Each structure stands twice: as C-alpha cells, then as structure tokens.
Amino acid sequence: MSKVREGVPLRELNTLKLESQATYFLSASSVEEVRLGVMEAKKHDLHITALGGGSNVILSPVIQGLTLHLNIKGREVVEEGTDHIVVRLGAGESWHECVLWAHAKGYYGLENLALIPGSVGAAPVQNIGAYGVEIQDLIAGVEVVDGLCGEAKTLTKEDCAFGYRDSVFKHEVGRHWLIVSVDIRLSKQAVCCTEYPGLRDHVSDDPMSPENVLQAVIALRKAKLPDPLVDPNVGSFFKNPIVSQSFAKQLKATYRDMPQFTTHDNQTKLSAAWMIDYLGWRGVEENGVIVSVNHALVLINKSALYASQITQFAGKISASVKATFDVTLEVEPQLIGSGC
C-alpha cells in the first residue's frame, strides 16, 4: 500500500522527544485508511501499534511491525435533547482544542479536563482525569476498528471497563481495538464541578460559571505542570497508588502530613507526588532526566535519547518509595516496544 512508509522516525510524534523508529508507519486520516492499514498488516503478519498524540507513551528505540497513527479529524453533533448533546470527536483531534470548542458552543462538562495534552483517541485509553472529573463520566460510546480483522464497531461505556487511569484498551482483551472516534455526552445547562481540593479556592464565584472553572483549571495546570512543547514530558509519570484503608491508617500514624483520599469503593488513594517529594526527589537530575521542580510526579526529559534512560531513573524513584513506604508505584504512561 503506497501510504505505508518504512523506517519512520517518531521523535516528533512523542512528547518525551525520545529517539524511536517505526519499522512500518501509516498515518490514517479516515476509518477506511485504518481498515486498509489493518488489512495490510494482516497480509504481511505485522503487529499493529496505535499512536495518537504521543503524550502518554514511552517509546522504545525500535517499534517493530506497523505503527498506525490515528489522525482522523472531525467534530459533529450526533444527538441533541432539550438539556443534553452528544458530540462525536475524531480520534486525531487535539483534546484541548475540543474542550475549548465544546465550551464555546455552550456544551458543558469538559472544563475540568482542559489543557490535558494529547489526542481525543488517547483520552479513553488512560481514562483521563483531572480536578474531580474523569472522561468515563461523560463517555457515551467509543467507535473502534478491530486491529485483528478490520471490523468496525461501537463500544458502550461498560465495554470500555474504565478504572482509575485504566480501561479495556490497556488490557489483552481490548489492546487490538483502534479508537477512531469518541462520543461524549455534554450538558446544555451550565455545570460547574468544583469539589476537587484546591480547585474551589481558585474559581471566581462572581458568578460561578463554567467559564470561571475553565479559566481556573487552565491557570492551575499552567502553574504546576510543564508544557510538553517546551519541556518534554508525559504528565504524571506514576499513578497514585490505591491501598487498603488499614494500611493507609498505619502510614498516616507515621507520616501525619500524608494526603489520603477515600475512593468510591472504600479504599485509599495515596499521593505519589507527595511521597516522591518527601524523599527529596524534586529537582533531582539523572541520565538527562529531571524531576520537575513544580510537581514531583512529572519527569522532564532534558537530554535523554532513549527510553531506558528514563525508565532506569524512574525505577530508582519507585524503589525508594517502596523502601520507605512499602508502596509500589505503577508507571502511568504506556511502555511501547521492547527495550524500555
């Protein structure tokens, strides 16, 4: 197939700016092109790796098989009621641009998820969440192409098996589904979600409006999280660990300032940033990688070329957390290819 290219560098397609090369590469801008890519991969017995905005991946130096860049654009209203609207967003759309677009149209609900880097198609994969809202709260459906046979289908929210920074797309059963568009249910009435600790104080309530929530979230993120276009990063490098309430209580007895949050299923979410910060990692640099001085959960690539330089340093950080707190940190972005 003419559009498939060989030996394509991926440095500009991952926000960590790691050196990586796709053995075969196809940028698909329509569902038909995705299906053609799947057929071609099948014919030549190539494994498919889906790539979106590259903002939540750690790429190994070589990605074998076919790297399929999901670059499908489009924003359309597919359902409208008196109070709600369902919009279909192409997987290759910029997430933040879509948040701004929906808000400007008067379709509310995405304000807390402003400024999250990456594409629409990547949003359900890690169930993006910020300031008290997760994308799973708003998903009406996800259109996919099966990477094994090229068949198109629509997944319900239940099919997606969402969890904290988790979904079916990260697991064996759904890893081969290629997301081509996402349906999101929004409100035509103003909604403001300000329960997240630290957000309420930043939202102007004169008047309390989605516009003010949007501005507060943008200001908070800009103050704390480095812009991947300036400082290569993938946002939070580790997930916040979830532990039993009894273990959390033991930790709290020793570390009185440790932030803890009760989850909906009565477990306790710990703050990975706080533990990393407590251990003095903020601002520490190794292998050309630095722990952001503004947020201990973010690793910035200053000069590392390869994934292993980042994962080795991250391994040291998580080993120190394990040694002190007996808590295991899980890496949040997806490791792609062997050699990470």
282 binds ligand EPU (CB under 6 A): yes
273 binds ligand EPU (CB under 6 A): yes
With CB under 6 A, what is the number of residues at the site for ligand EPU?
Answer: 20
Question: Which residues, in sequence order, are CB contacts of 133 under 8 Å at separation 6+?
Answer: 109, 110, 112, 113, 193
Going from the C-alpha of 159 to that of each of 79, 95, 192, 237, the distances in angstroms are: 21, 22, 28, 26
166 binds ligand EPU (CB under 6 A): no
State the CB neighbour count (10 A cutoff) for residue 231: 17
296 binds ligand EPU (CB under 6 A): yes
Stretch that binds ligand EPU, among 32-40, 134-142, 182-190, 236-244 (CB under 6 A): 236-244
231 binds ligand EPU (CB under 6 A): no
Which of residues 84 and 252 has its CB atom nearest to ligand EPU in the complex? 252
317 binds ligand EPU (CB under 6 A): no
Which of residues 107 and 131 has its CB atom nearest to ligand EPU in the complex? 131
Question: Which residues, in sequence order, are CB contacts of 34 under 8 Å at separation 6+?
Answer: 28, 68, 70, 72, 145, 178, 180
Which of residues 134 and 143 has its CB atom nearest to ligand EPU in the complex? 134
274 binds ligand EPU (CB under 6 A): yes
Quick one: which of 335, 8, 116, 212 has its CA closest to 124? 116
- Contact with ligand EPU (CB under 6 A): which of 297, 299, 307, 321? 297
CA angle, residues 46, 47, 50, in degrees to nearest 5: 125
State the CB neighbour count (10 A cutoff) for residue 177: 22
CA angle, residues 188, 189, 191, in degrees to nearest 5: 115
Least distance (Å) between residue 131 CB and ligand EPU: 4
Which residues contact ligand EPU (rule: CB under 6 A)? Answer: 130-131, 196, 198, 224-225, 235-236, 239-240, 259, 271, 273-274, 277, 282, 295-297, 332
Question: Which residue numbers are catalytic?
Answer: 165, 236, 332
